[in-house]
Chains A and B, each alone.
Chain A
Amino acid sequence: MAFTCTYQFDTAVYKGAVTFPTQLFINGEFVDPVNKGTIDLINPATCKAIARVSVGDREDIEVAAQAARTAFKEHWGLKVSGEARSKLLHKLADLVDANTDQIAALEALNVGKTFHAAKAIDLPTIGSLLRYYAGWADKIQGKSIQTTPDKIGFTRHEPIGVVGAIVPWNFPLSTLIMKLAPALACGNTIVAKPSEFTPLSALFLCTLIREAGFPPGVVNIVPGYGDTAGQAVGESMIIDKVAFTGSTLTGRKIMEAAARSNLKKISLELGGKSPSIIFDDADVDQAVKWAINGIFMNQGEICVAGSRIYVQAGIYDDFLQKFTESAQCLSVGDPFSPDTFQGPQISERQFERVMDYIKSGQAEGATLRLGGKRFGTEGYFIQPTVFTDCTPNMKIVQEEIFGPVAAIMKFSAEEEVIEQANNSTYGLACSVYTKDIDRAMRVASNIEAGTAWVNFSNWPDLGLPFGGFKQSGIGRDLGEYALENYTNIKAVHINIGIKI
């Protein structure tokens, strides 16, 4: 088995070698999995193997959880000051920044996203997340609560304990850091399971975690499959909380496993079928660009993708023409080419899934206005695809596709579009485009979603909470709100005079 991965990049946008261990990272050491499992990672742009890395099983999750528990009790948890946690997170941010190009290259290679986007979006987000929560680490506050003159009441917001983080393949490192930064800031320890498809950036991070000086066991990283390692995180009796980002189907399984095992706390960031709503009075040129950004960013592999686009009748034709033209101009191809906007889908399975949705859209009577086919001859590329004449019950309108497929619908009245937009089991995000401030307020207020963007799209902000209404999730990541996901509240009542 290979203990390290060395990859030589020789591309137009990045040249250099990246070397890092590919074993499991447990208790500050790189170790072999108990069952010696490995997985061959595939470059989705070429379908060729990139590297062979270790893959953890149930037993490895337990070993990692035990290391995290010991670290929680001995070096972290209530044993470390907020100031010290803050300093370590800042140090890790500096190390990530110093390795921006290497990490961006690994993300592009492993996920198929463009190097340009990884460098411009994923990496700055990671550094900022670490620094943002480093700032919170020494500001974990409870309340003192006035009760009676004979009593003092206050709350402590204590770390929960061992956090299991299960993160997806579309933003491998930034979703990991979205869990890791607030969890560590609050004093928890972590067992993270990156996706089996995209563990490279997380493995690269392990070296930086060690270099930053986190005590052994505070962060443990075990790449593995969902049905073994992921399920083990959900079922572990040692893990106190699981933070999950992924599909609604898997989110349910995690919640069920938590209910059946030790009632671990959960937070779930799940799927979406988010509406973009464009009113007649919107700036059409801007709305087109933002709507394109909404659905085609990151190959459409984004949980907040604005995949249902509702356009008011008065500007429908104009919007459709401009939108289709813009989508047609999107350059698809090599993620390491400077001009590429859209790379391949992550895997053969996802590629087939998206193609099946495209077929179902045609079979159910939607009009294919653009794309709909494989792009090129190798790799999992799909042409930017646009459907019109979509009706509410079509699968392409109801289900999350997670690919570059837009469904466009025409509407007349505000009430009608609100009803259609809310006709979904999901409630992750929405975008509304209008210059009428009253309408913007009404619509943003009435859409059932955890995030509403007014006159733009797909732009979470670190300071703002992010999460789902309805079946899009439970709990909130980001912002001050995320601290609630990683703290347990203890009410302390002190008697200073009551006698019985």
Chain B
Amino acid sequence: MAAKSIYTKLFGRALLSFSSRTLYHSSHTLSTMASLSAHILIRAANRELEIPTGLFINNEFVPSADSPNDLIHLVNPATEETICSVVAGSVKDIDIAVAAARKAFNTTWGKNVTGFERSKLLNKLADLMERDQDILAEVESLNNGKPFKIARDFDIGDSIQCLRYYAGWADKITGQTIEVDNKTKLAFTRHDPIGVCGQIIPWNYPINMWAWKVAPALACGCTIVMKPSELTPLTALMLSKLIAEAGFPPGVVNTIPSLGSVGGVALSTHMDVDKVAFTGSTVTGRKVMEAAAKSNLKKVSLELGGKSPQLVFESADLEQAANWACLGILYNTGQDCTAGSRLYVQDTIYDKFVSLLVSKAKELVIGDGFDEKSGGGPLVSKTQFDKVWRYIESGSAQGAKLALGGQKRPGKGFFVDPTIFTDINANMDIVRDEIFGPVLAVGRFKTEEEAISLANDTSYGLGAGLHSNDANQCMRVSSALEAGTVWINQYNLLNNNVPFGGKKQSGIGRELGSYALDEYTSVKAIHWNFGEKLDWPL
């Protein structure tokens, strides 16, 4: 069962002995000259990998057209050592990639390819990802910090399934025929691919978010310029190599690692990009939408931040609720847009539940991703590490009580241990803001109405969870929670065929499921006259 194995991996119950802390070193010599590949040794697997580090345009890895010396240096967050460097794409490079994507859309993809063929290529790509599942997971773990096994079995396992799921949709893009007047007129709709899509993805699930953005766009016939996060571009480059190997025509998928302020801005302001799909912070999401408004009114879909509540009612199975609550806030070390970062517990069970929760959260080992004992890795960067610590300090300063954590670790690596605050109030920063770390704020409520009102007291609306054994209550509360996803007696598990996205300031549009097809198609209504004669003047 998937959930059981997630939990087992998180909390390190199934232990195979793995090796030491220094699991890799890079044989790539940092230089000012951009190289188009790097050699990386994965110690844990005793294997050296050659990874592409150039820009991927028209199925080839190339240097930057105008800034050959601009590099992005990548850091292993578990050791703070440099892994290697990749070429940093410029505005000019985005232009070139968009032109490649446009040409492909007009000649080899878009309306020039059948759904059957798109499906075949997506399935082939899934096969290649499956073949390379281990090495992709190794690099994902190295660059992002997350445990290798979680990357392999969940991030990548789910991504492969996502590609296959949308491969199945590629030859089922359907419109409607609409009865107008059976004697003289017929109408139907075509769901055309939108065109060139700029896909901007974050660093918390680099491969998973790549799959969510690539699979439905390609299934619908769009072409892509992908901008992975500047912190974690390596696996997107490895996947780009698989794109070429799978046989996608040149220009269908292009990958430009770049800073958000360069490549992200260039994509969202571009006059020849028809759609931008963005996953990331609400602050940046606003900028993307503003840029779309000011440029060519490109369509946008935004998956943004959250401050998702979990409600534990007195009838719930407390053991299970505590497990799910831990998974909710600690999975991926809290670097999760749906992180269940506010937990409200009914007062009748509050004390019992909080002690259960603390004892379970304590069991999670946060450590190097290649260490078998690790259920969670470090935070992704120094910046994130500092930000999370500022929030922990503000929680204490604003009067919340630490029930767990709050001690900085000595040594290297951006590790933050599970942290739980109680005695919170609605105005504290740790209750209002998205922290993006393993920091949980626990509050209490008396009545169902109070629980709903506390849960909805946020500008976000991404996820929400409720734990209760009362069926009527489950239905009432799930209806009242203002969120794009509600989990009942569970948390954080998504399915590729169930839509995902935010209400309120958590976003616009839906990913996953059949719903995501709407994000990559433009609806055209065709009205056909085969008998109506017009008398003129009217």
Contact = CB atoms under 8 A, between A and B. Distances in A.
Interface of A: 78, 116-117, 120, 143, 145-148, 150-151, 153, 155-156, 158, 240, 248, 251-256, 258-260, 262-263, 265, 268, 270, 286, 288-290, 292-293, 326, 329-331, 341, 425, 440, 444-446, 449-456, 459, 461, 463-467, 469-471, 473-474, 476, 479-481, 484, 488-496, 498-500
Given A256-B294, A260-B286, A495-B487, A454 B527 contact: yes
Contacts of B178: 461, 463-464, 479
A498 B467 CA distance: 13
Contact of B189 (A117, A151, A464): A464
B488 A473 contact: no
A29 B179 CA distance: 41
Contacts of B67: none
A461 B503 contact: no
Nearest to B532: A456
Contact of A489 (B480, B515, B526): B515
Q: Is the interface of B mostly helix, strand, loop or mixed?
A: mixed
Contacts of B294: 252, 256
Contacts of A481: 189, 523
Contact of A464 (B7, B187, B534): B187
A329 B537 contact: yes
Nearest to B285: A263
A471 B296 contact: yes
Interface in B461-505: 474, 478-480, 483-490, 493, 495, 497-501, 503-505
Chain B contact patch, size range: 35 or more
5 contacts: A248-B297, A259-B287, A263-B505, A454-B526, A499-B4
A258 B289 contact: yes
Given A258-B289, A263-B302, 8 more contacts: A151-B490, A286-B533, A452-B524, A479-B525, A491-B484, A492-B485, A492-B488, A493-B487
Contact of A493 (B274, B290, B485, B532): B485
Contact of B495 (A153, A156, A251): A153
A440 to B, nearest CB: 8
Nearest to B474: A494
Contacts of A330: 537
- List the 10 closest pairs (A to B, CB-CB), nearest first: A255-B293, A259-B289, A495-B490, A289-B536, A495-B489, A455-B529, A500-B7, A456-B529, A259-B290, A256-B293
A492 B474 CA distance: 10
B538 A117 contact: yes
B297 A470 contact: yes
Contacts of A116: 538
A465 B6 contact: no
A444 B526 contact: yes
A456 B490 contact: no
B484 A489 contact: yes
A500 B325 CA distance: 11
B189 A465 contact: yes
Contacts of A293: 534, 536, 538
A484 B508 CA distance: 12
Nearest to B176: A480
B527 A459 contact: yes
Given A153-B498, A450-B523, A489-B499, A461 B537 contact: no
Interface of B: 1-4, 6-7, 111, 176, 178-180, 187, 189-190, 274, 282, 285-290, 292-294, 296-297, 299, 302, 304, 320, 323-324, 327, 459, 474, 478-480, 483-490, 493, 495, 497-501, 503-505, 507-508, 510, 513-515, 518, 522-530, 532-538
The secondary structure that dominates the A interface is: mixed
A252 B187 contact: no
B187 A463 contact: yes
B493 to A, nearest CB: 7
Contact of B537 (A255, A256, A341, A494): A341
B536 to A, nearest CB: 4
Contacts of A254: 293
A438 to B, nearest CB: 14
Contact of A500 (B4, B302, B505, B527): B4
Contact of B493 (A120, A252, A440, A493): A493
A495 B328 CA distance: 15
Contacts of A240: 504
B439 to A, nearest CB: 21
Among B294, B304, B490, B527, find the residue whose CB has the most chain A CB atoms closer than 10 A.
Answer: B527
B306 to A, nearest CB: 13
Nearest to B178: A463
B327 A500 contact: yes
Contact of A484 (B483, B489, B518, B525): B518
Contacts of A286: 533-534
A341 B538 CA distance: 8
A452 B526 contact: yes
Nearest to B317: A499
Most buried by B among A240, A289, A480, A498: A498
A116 B497 CA distance: 51
Contact of B479 (A78, A145, A454, A500): A78
B523 A465 contact: yes
Contacts of A253: 293
A490 B4 contact: no
A465 B477 CA distance: 34
A490 B524 contact: no
A477 B197 CA distance: 23
A145 B483 contact: no
Contacts of B498: 145, 147, 153, 155, 491, 493
B527 A490 contact: no
A242 to B, nearest CB: 12
